[in-house]
Structure 1
C-alpha cells in the first residue's frame, strides 16, 4: 500500500526523537551511513500519532514517545500497562494494586497521562477508538490489548481533541498492532516473588501467513495469563491493621489496638429509655466466648484483604488484510477478551440499633432468649429498681458477620471488538480510509449479601413453651426464618445464616456499546514554493451506550448497603475535522520552516456543538536541529456516567452553620449570613436561638449523582520543544519539550457541607442551587450533583536522550534516558476552595526518569533498567500534632532496578530463552498507614500503586518459533 501505516522501530524512534530504550534482537541490522543519508534524501510518507497527514519527513511537530515490541520484550510484559506506566509522562491509573475496594472495577488497568485522569486520556488501537472498560466512561482497560500483537505504542501528551475528538485533553496513547507475521511463535513465562508468592503464568501463541502472492495476510493470537494476586497478610508492612487509635500523641500503632471494633464476637450496648447508647460497649466476649465487661477484641481486617487482586485473562485477536486492487485494501481486526478478577474484603460489619451508620435500626429485644443469663440478670435488676433512668429497653450491637456473608465480589468481563474497512490511495498520492468499529464490554459482578428485613426477623427471637427458640413473627417462620444468635463468635447457625442471605447474589450487570463510523482523506492538492501543501479532511459518527443493571433488592435498598439505582444512558456525536501542513521555507537560508493547523467541529446529542483546534510551527535552521511548538484548544464532553448516573438519596451527616445562631453572636463567622435569611431571623426573634432537634438534623437528605445539564470541559495546552540529532554522532538524539496544560470547567462533585457553608458566605448559585431550606429556615435537602466547577493546571519539561549504535560485526549498544520534571500540578475543587499544589506528592514526583542500557553480543543480550521517583510527600495538605507522624509523610527518593538476560537463536522467533529480576535490590515501599495517611491504598499500609509492594521478583520465559 502507498499509504504506509507501518515502519521499522528505527524510523519510529527518529520520528519521536524520544523512544524508550529497547534490547534489540541480534538479527536487527543498523543502517549504514549511506543508508541513513538516503533515508534523509528520500524519506517515506508516514503517519504519526498526533496528525492524520502523511508527512514527507521523519520529524513530528508534537513530541511522540514510542515503545516498540522489543521494549516490551525487554520488560517481559504480559500486561502492557506495566511497561507504559514506567514512563514519566504517565500517572497512576486503575491497577491491580488499587482496585480491591472497587465493586465492578477490580483488576482493571487504565492509563492516566499527566495525572489528569483516565477520562482525559484517549486510548486508540491502530488510530481508532476502543471500547471502554468501566461503566459509562471512556477509560479503556488495556488488559484487553495483547502485548504479543503490539508493534509499537505511540504516546502524544497535550490536547489532541482537534485530531481525535473528545477525551484527548491530556493526550493520546495509540497502540499500533502488527499486520504481517510469517510462521508461528509460542511464548511461555513464569513469574514468582522472592517470598515465593504471587505466581503469574503466561502462555501465548501468535502466527500468521500471507496468501495469493502476498496480496493478503492473516495473523492471529491466542493467550492465557493468570495473576494469582497477593494477600495483605503476606507482607510485614501490611499484615495487621495500623493507625492512630489512641490519638496523635501515641503515634502509629499496628496490632490489636488498631483492629476494627466490629469483631466476630460482637460489641454490645444497653439502650436506654431515650433510645440512646453509651460511648463504649457494655459487654462482649473473649476468644473462648466467655462473657466480659466492656470492649472485646477487635478484628484484623488486613488478614483478609488483597494488596493485589487476582486477574485471569483469555485473549484472542486476529487481523486480516487483502489487496482488492493495487490501490485498495480491505482489512478487518477482531478482538475477544475474557477476564475474571475478584476482590477480597473482610466479612461485613453490621451496626444494629441506635449506633452511627446503623444498618438495622431495630434493637435486640430484652426478651431475646440468646441474651446471656448474666446480662439478663443485669437487665432485670436495672428495670426493677426505682430509677427509670437506669432502665434497659433493648440491646444495640456492632458485629462482623463472619458466618453469614463475605463482602468480596467477583467480576466476569467479556470484550468484543471488530474494526473493518477500506483504505488505499488514488490520483498519485491521495490516501483514504473508511472504517467501522463495533465494541461491546460486558461485566457481571456478584457478591454475597444479606436482606435487612430478614436480619430484623431473625434477630427478633423468642422461646416457645416447648423450649424451642424461634423467630417471633409467625409469617417470617412460614417463610423459613431461623433465629439468629449474635452473642459470641461463631454462634450464628447455618440455618440462620442461610435465611438472612439474599436468595440471589447482589449483582451488577454492565454493558457498554460503541459504534464508530469514520472516513478520512489526505494528500496534497498543490505543490508550493517550499514543498507540498498537506491536508487531511474527514467525518466521524460515534454512538456510545451504557446500561448498568443492579439487582432489584439493591435498587430498593433492601440489601445491606446503599440504595443504588440503575445507570442507563447514551449519546451520539457527528464530527467534521481538517488538518493542514503549510511549508513556508525549504533550503532557503534555513533547512525548513512550516506551519500546521487542525480543527474539529463536534455536534453532541447531549451538549450541542463544540469546537477544538490547534496551531503549530516548526523550524529547522540546519540539519540536526529542529524547533517545534503547538498551541491547542481542546475539550472533553461529559461521559455517560457523569450525565446519567441517577440521583441516589443519602442521609450522610450535614451540619448547618446556622445552628446555635442568636441575635448577636457570630459562630464560625456565619452569624450575619444566617440572620439575613428571613425565616431564620423570625425564628431567632421568637425563640432567641436558631437550633435543631436531633431528629431534624438526621432528616436532612440529599441526592448525589449525575447531571444532564453538564457542559464540556475545556483545556488550553502549549508544547514547545527542540530535537537534536547531530550527523557527527550517528545514533544519538536528544529532545527537550516544555508543556503547559490548563483545564477549566472540569467536572466534579461539590461536597454537600461545602455547598452549605459557601452558599452562606458567598451567595454563589454554584453552591446555593444545591441547598434547599424549608419555610422554617432549616435545611431540608443538600444535593451533591456533578457540575462544571474544578480547575487543573500542570506544566513541566520532558527530555529524552537516546544512543543506539553497532559495535563491530555482532555487537550493539543501546542507551536511553527518559526524564520529566514537573513544574506544578495545581487543582482547585471549586471557586472558593484553596488551590492545592500536587507536584511533589506520591505518584506526582517532581522528577522522574527511566533509563535502560542494553548490550548485545552475538546471541546474548543483557539489559539494565532503572526507574527513579524523586522525594515526595504522601499529601501536601497533611497535618498532625505528632512530629514523628509528620516526618513519615516525607517520602525519600526511590530508585528501582530491573535486569534481563536473553539468548536468541536466529531472528528471535526461532528460539529465545530469557530471564530477569525486577526490583533487584528488594526496595521496600514507604510505611504510610491508613489512617492517618488517607492517600494510602486500603489494606496495603502504603501507596501500593506508586511504590512496589511485591519486593524482588523473578521471571523466566521461552519463545519458540517455527
Structure 2
C-alpha cells in the first residue's frame, strides 16, 4: 500500500545491521540476505506495532523503540527485565533485587506510569498476569535467547490492543522461523572492590562487621538455551522449538560494604530495628485490665539482666542476612508451528511453558511489639532484680506488668518466602487471504499462571503468647532463649493462586478499493471482534488470613474475582497525497474500539495519527490516542487489611518535623507531642484494600515527532509525547495522606489517620493510615525521546556504528502526590532523571570479531525533603556506566561472547532508609552490585 523511499530504506538497513532504539518497526526482520538486496525485495505486507493494518514499509505514525536480538545478547542479561530497565523509557518495578515485599515476578513500568498501565505482548498478543501478588504480566515467561527483537510503542495503543495500553505497549517478537540447531551456554557474575569509607566509618561506630577488598565473583548465574527449527511437508510448514534453563545464585547484603548495615532515615548512621536480640520493651502497669499509658516506659535489656531506658543504641542490624539479589531457578520450553494448506488457510500455533522458583530471604522474625502480653510480676520470666526495678518505677503494689516486646529471633534464623510460578500459554489460529485484497486472522488464546508461596520461619504469635504465659520463652534473661525453644515458636503460612486469561480474536484487513481524489493509493482498513475473560483467584490459609505471623505486618486475605469484556474494533488508513511538491506522501490513520466491561460498562477508545513524508529524507508524524484502563481484580475485590508502608512519621521523635498544631491535625495530643516513638526501621502501619465502586481510568496521549535521514550515514528521530490520565486508580499513599493531613487539617486526609492511644502508627495494629483504592484525580506526564544512528565506513579497516537512545522527562505530576516528580527524588517520587541515554559504539573490522562500547547515563535528580541528610542540598548526582563486549567467530559453527558491564565498578548512589527500595539503594534501577561479567558460547549446527 505504500511505496518505498530513501528514508524507509535507510531505516530498514539500520534494522538489519542491529540498529537499536529506532522509531520505526516491522515484523518481517531481515535475515541472511545483503541489506540492499533485502531492502529492494521487501515488498510483502507486514504488521507494524501499533496497528493491525498490513503495510509494505517499516514506517509508523507512532514512535516505536526497537531493541534487536543482537543488543539483547550483547547485554549479557538472562533476565529480560534487567535489559528492559536499562532502556531510558523504562523505570524499575519488581526485580530480583527486591527481597522484603518481593512478589516473585518481573514486571515492566514504561515511563514510570505504572506496571498496570504497561501492556505486554508476545507476538502481538497480550500476556496473562503474573501471580499471587501481581495483576501485571510476568516477563519471566519471556526467554531472552528466543527474542528476535523488542518493540516498545511509546504512545498509547488501546484502540488497537484494548485496555491497559495507557503508557504504551511492549511487544516481544519471538524467533518463530529458526532453521537448524543452536545451543547457547552462558555464565555471569558480579565483582566489586569494597572500599566505601563513609559506610565503613558508620559501621565502625556501631562495631558492625563488613567486607573489605575484592569480593571475587559472586551472584553467579548459569544458563543453557537450546533452539531448533526446520521446515516440513515440502516447505509448507515450519516449526521452531526451544528449551531453556537458568540458575541464579543468591547474594546477601553482607557481600557489599555499602549494604552491610541499614541506614537510618537520615542516612547519617547505621540504623536498624529496635526489635533486637536483647529486647527493647514498652512496660506499663496493668490496673483493672487497663494498660496505664501515663506510666509507660521503653526499656532495653542489658547484658547483665537489668533494664535501662531505651536510648536508640540497642538496635539490630538486620541488613546482612537480607537478600540483595534473590536466588532463582527457571525453566522454559515452547514451540511455534505454522502450516500453509493454501493461500486461504494457514493454521498456526504457539505453545509456551515456564516454571520459576525464587526465595526471598529477610532478617529473622521477632515479636515486633505486635501484641500486648500481660505478665504477673512474680512470673519466672522476671528476675528478682527486675521485679525490684518494676516496683521502683510503678510502685510497690504493682501486680501485673503489660509488655509490648521487641525481641529478635536470632536464635531461629532468617525468614524465607518461597515463591513459585508456573505459566502456560497457548495460541491456536489461522490466517489467510479472502481474495487478492483482503486477509483474515482468527485465533483463540489461553494463558494461565499458577502460583504458590510458603512463608517459613516466622513467629506464630499464638505460640509466642502461650510460651510467655507459661514462662517458656525466657526473653528477659540474656542468653535465655535457646535455638530449640525458638524453633518451637515458628509457623508456616501457605497461599496459592491461579490466574487465567481467555481471548477470542478475529479480524479482517485489506484495501477498500477507494481512494481520495488527491491520492492514487487505496484506503486500507481493519474490522475485528474480541472477547476477553480474565479470572484471578488467591487462596490464603488461616494463618495468612488472620495475620497470625508476627512479621507479616497484618493479614493477607484470599481474593477471587474476574471480568469479561466484549469488543468491536476497526482501523482505517487513508492515503491523502503522494508524489507532489512538498508532499512525498501523507497518510491519515484512524482507529476506534468499543468495549463492554462486565464490571464497569461501556467504554470507547480511539486514535488519529498523521504520517507526513515531506521529502524522501524528512518525515513529520503526529498521533492522538484515547486510552482506557478498567480496574483489575485486585483493585476491585481485594479485602481491606493492615500492611506496612516505608517512610517517616513527621510527628515522631524528640524534635518532630511538624509543629504541635500540625501534629494535632494528625491526632497527636499536646502531651504526646515530642514523645511519640519513631520506628527505627522506617516502617508504619497502613490499611490497604480494594474498592468495587472504582471507575475506569481515561487517558489522552499525544505525540509529535520528526524522522530524518539528512545524510546517507545518519538518521534520527525526535518525538515529543504527553499523557494525561483522569480518574486515576490508586491511593493517596499513606505517607502523603499523613503529610497532607498535618499540613492542611482537611478531613479528607485526616479521617484516614488513626493513631493508637499512645500516638504510635507502628506499635501493635491500633495505629494506621488508611490507603485503600480510590479514583484519586489526574496525572500528567510529558517528555521527549531522541534516537540517532550514525555509520562511518572504512575506519581502520572496518565500520563504526553509533546508536543513541535518549529520553528527556519534562513533567511527571500526580494529584495524589501534589508535586512534579520529573528530576526529583522524595518520599513520593521515584528518582526518574530529567535525562537518560544510552550511546553504543560498535566497531566491525571483518566477519570474525566485533567490539562494542556502551555509555549509559543517568542525569542527576534533586531531593525534595529534609529527612535524608545524604541528599539535602545535592540530591543524587549524575551516574555514568561503561559497558564493553566482544564477539568472536571461532569457526562457522562456534562463536564466543565476552563482556563486562559497569567496567569501572561504580557503586549505586546511597539513600537513607525512608527512600531505599533495598540495601540503602534504589535497587535494580542504578547498577546495584558493581561490575557484571558475562560470557557465552554459541554452537550452531
For Structure 1 versus Structure 2, the TM-score category normalised by the shorter chain is 0.7 to 0.9
Structure 1 residue matching 2:513: 3-state secondary structure = strand
Structure 2 CA distance for aligned equivalents of residues 539 and 209 of structure 1: 33
Name the counterpart of 1:465: none
- The Cα of 1:793 is off from its aligned counterpart by 0.9
Structure 1 CA distance for aligned equivalents of residues 738 and 73 of structure 2: 55
Name the counterpart of 1:78: 78
Whether the aligned pair in 2 keeps the contact of 1:643 and 1:707 (CA below 8 Å) is yes
CA pair 102-12 structure 1, distance change in 2 beyond 3 A: farther
Query: Cα deviations across residues 897-946 of structure 1 (Å, max 9, x unaligned)?
Result: 11111112566xx211111111011111112121xxx22123x1121222
Name the counterpart of 1:260: 273
Name the counterpart of 2:681: none
CA pair 223-649 structure 1, distance change in 2 beyond 3 A: closer
Name the counterpart of 1:476: none
Structure 1 residue matching 2:319: 3-state secondary structure = helix
CA pair 807-134 structure 1, distance change in 2 beyond 3 A: farther
Aligned counterpart in structure 2 of residue 815 of structure 1, from 782, 796, 802: 802
Map residues 371-450 of structure 1 onto 2, 5 A cutoff: 371-379=382-390, 385=396, 388=397, 393=401, 395-404=403-412, 406-448=414-456, 449-450=458-459
Aligned counterpart in structure 2 of residue 795 of structure 1, from 773, 778, 782: 782
Structure 2 CA distance for aligned equivalents of residues 667 and 292 of structure 1: 35
Name the counterpart of 1:20: 21
Whether the aligned pair in 1 keeps the contact of 2:11 and 2:715 (CA below 8 Å) is no
- The Cα of 1:806 is off from its aligned counterpart by 6.0
Name the counterpart of 2:65: 65
CA pair 751-629 structure 1, distance change in 2 beyond 3 A: closer
Map residues 885-904 of structure 1 onto 2, 5 A cutoff: 886-887=872-873, 890-904=875-889
Whether the aligned pair in 2 keeps the contact of 1:854 and 1:862 (CA below 8 Å) is yes
- The Cα of 1:216 is off from its aligned counterpart by 1.1
- The Cα of 1:494 is off from its aligned counterpart by 5.2
CA pair 752-626 structure 1, distance change in 2 beyond 3 A: closer
Name the counterpart of 1:454: 463
Aligned counterpart in structure 2 of residue 708 of structure 1, from 658, 682, 692: 692
Structure 1 CA distance for aligned equivalents of residues 460 and 833 of structure 2: 46
Whether the aligned pair in 2 keeps the contact of 1:16 and 1:65 (CA below 8 Å) is no
Structure 2 CA distance for aligned equivalents of residues 167 and 141 of structure 1: 15
Query: Cα deviations across residues 517-544 of structure 1 (Å, max 9, x unaligned)?
Result: 1001100021424302110111111111
Structure 2 residue matching 1:199: 3-state secondary structure = strand
Name the counterpart of 1:864: 853
Which deviates further from its counterpart, 266-275 or 730-739? Answer: 266-275
Aligned counterpart in structure 2 of residue 637 of structure 1, from 591, 608, 630: 630
Consecutive unaligned residues in structure 1, runs of 5 or more: 1-6, 352-357, 463-482, 658-665, 675-688, 695-700, 773-778
Aligned counterpart in structure 1 of residue 900 of structure 2, from 917, 925, 950: 917
CA pair 490-617 structure 1, distance change in 2 beyond 3 A: same
TM-score (norm 2): 0.83
Whether the aligned pair in 1 keeps the contact of 2:238 and 2:339 (CA below 8 Å) is yes
Structure 1 CA distance for aligned equivalents of residues 906 and 558 of structure 2: 44
Structure 2 CA distance for aligned equivalents of residues 262 and 450 of structure 1: 13
Structure 1 residue matching 2:55: 3-state secondary structure = coil
Name the counterpart of 2:574: 582
TM-score (norm 1): 0.82
- The Cα of 1:166 is off from its aligned counterpart by 0.5
CA pair 750-740 structure 1, distance change in 2 beyond 3 A: closer
Structure 2 CA distance for aligned equivalents of residues 949 and 641 of structure 1: 31
CA pair 794-761 structure 1, distance change in 2 beyond 3 A: closer
Whether the aligned pair in 2 keeps the contact of 1:252 and 1:885 (CA below 8 Å) is no
Q: Residue 31 in 1 paired to residue 35 in 2?
A: yes
CA pair 569-241 structure 1, distance change in 2 beyond 3 A: same
Whether the aligned pair in 1 keeps the contact of 2:128 and 2:499 (CA below 8 Å) is yes
Aligned counterpart in structure 1 of residue 909 of structure 2, from 915, 923, 926: 926
Structure 1 CA distance for aligned equivalents of residues 15 and 809 of structure 2: 25
CA pair 379-243 structure 1, distance change in 2 beyond 3 A: closer
CA pair 722-836 structure 1, distance change in 2 beyond 3 A: closer
Name the counterpart of 2:241: 220
Map residues 280-295 of structure 1 onto 2, 5 A cutoff: 281-286=298-303, 291=306, 293-295=308-310
Whether the aligned pair in 1 keeps the contact of 2:156 and 2:167 (CA below 8 Å) is yes
Aligned counterpart in structure 2 of residue 347 of structure 1, from 364, 370, 373: 364
- The Cα of 1:279 is off from its aligned counterpart by 6.8
Q: Residue 311 in 1 paired to residue 332 in 2?
A: no
Whether the aligned pair in 2 keeps the contact of 1:752 and 1:783 (CA below 8 Å) is yes
- The Cα of 1:406 is off from its aligned counterpart by 3.7
Q: Residue 368 in 1 paired to residue 379 in 2?
A: yes
- The Cα of 1:285 is off from its aligned counterpart by 3.5
Structure 1 CA distance for aligned equivalents of residues 218 and 277 of structure 2: 28
Name the counterpart of 1:647: 640
Whether the aligned pair in 2 keeps the contact of 1:911 and 1:959 (CA below 8 Å) is yes
Name the counterpart of 2:555: 563
Name the counterpart of 2:206: none
Which deviates further from its counterpart, 149-158 or 606-615? Answer: 149-158
Structure 1 CA distance for aligned equivalents of residues 227 and 10 of structure 2: 20
Which deviates further from its counterpart, 627-636 or 189-198? Answer: 189-198
Whether the aligned pair in 2 keeps the contact of 1:18 and 1:65 (CA below 8 Å) is no
Whether the aligned pair in 1 keeps the contact of 2:727 and 2:778 (CA below 8 Å) is yes
Structure 2 CA distance for aligned equivalents of residues 568 and 534 of structure 1: 43
- The Cα of 1:513 is off from its aligned counterpart by 0.8
CA pair 710-27 structure 1, distance change in 2 beyond 3 A: closer
Aligned residues: 855
Consecutive unaligned residues in structure 2, runs of 5 or more: 1-7, 24-28, 192-214, 652-659, 676-684, 755-765
Q: Residue 724 in 1 paired to residue 708 in 2?
A: yes
Which deviates further from its counterpart, 134-143 or 604-613? Answer: 134-143
Structure 2 CA distance for aligned equivalents of residues 401 and 785 of structure 1: 32
Structure 2 residue matching 1:205: 3-state secondary structure = strand
Structure 2 CA distance for aligned equivalents of residues 579 and 609 of structure 1: 19
- The Cα of 1:305 is off from its aligned counterpart by 1.0
Structure 2 residue matching 1:526: 3-state secondary structure = coil
CA pair 543-15 structure 1, distance change in 2 beyond 3 A: farther
Name the counterpart of 2:936: 957
Aligned counterpart in structure 1 of residue 486 of structure 2, from 497, 508, 526: 497
Aligned counterpart in structure 1 of residue 720 of structure 2, from 706, 727, 738: 738
CA pair 784-794 structure 1, distance change in 2 beyond 3 A: closer
Query: Cα deviations across residues 235-261 of structure 1 (Å, max 9, x unaligned)?
Result: 1111112226xxx7xx7023xxx2322
Whether the aligned pair in 2 keeps the contact of 1:265 and 1:489 (CA below 8 Å) is yes
Structure 1 residue matching 2:728: 3-state secondary structure = strand
Structure of greater Rg: 1
Whether the aligned pair in 1 keeps the contact of 2:300 and 2:314 (CA below 8 Å) is no
Map residues 663-812 of structure 1 onto 2, 5 A cutoff: 704-726=688-710, 729-750=711-732, 784-804=771-791, 807=794, 811-812=798-799
Whether the aligned pair in 2 keeps the contact of 1:670 and 1:761 (CA below 8 Å) is no
CA pair 425-489 structure 1, distance change in 2 beyond 3 A: farther
Structure 1 CA distance for aligned equivalents of residues 767 and 360 of structure 2: 37
Aligned counterpart in structure 2 of residue 936 of structure 1, from 916, 927, 937: 916
Aligned counterpart in structure 2 of residue 549 of structure 1, from 539, 562, 566: 539
Report the RMSD for the aligned CA atoms in angstroms. 3.9
- The Cα of 1:750 is off from its aligned counterpart by 3.7
Whether the aligned pair in 2 keeps the contact of 1:18 and 1:800 (CA below 8 Å) is no
- The Cα of 1:51 is off from its aligned counterpart by 0.5
- The Cα of 1:152 is off from its aligned counterpart by 1.3
Whether the aligned pair in 2 keeps the contact of 1:243 and 1:929 (CA below 8 Å) is yes
Structure 1 CA distance for aligned equivalents of residues 795 and 308 of structure 2: 82
Structure 2 CA distance for aligned equivalents of residues 754 and 179 of structure 1: 48
Structure 2 CA distance for aligned equivalents of residues 634 and 27 of structure 1: 35
Aligned counterpart in structure 2 of residue 485 of structure 1, from 456, 471, 474: 474
Q: Residue 231 in 1 paired to residue 252 in 2?
A: yes
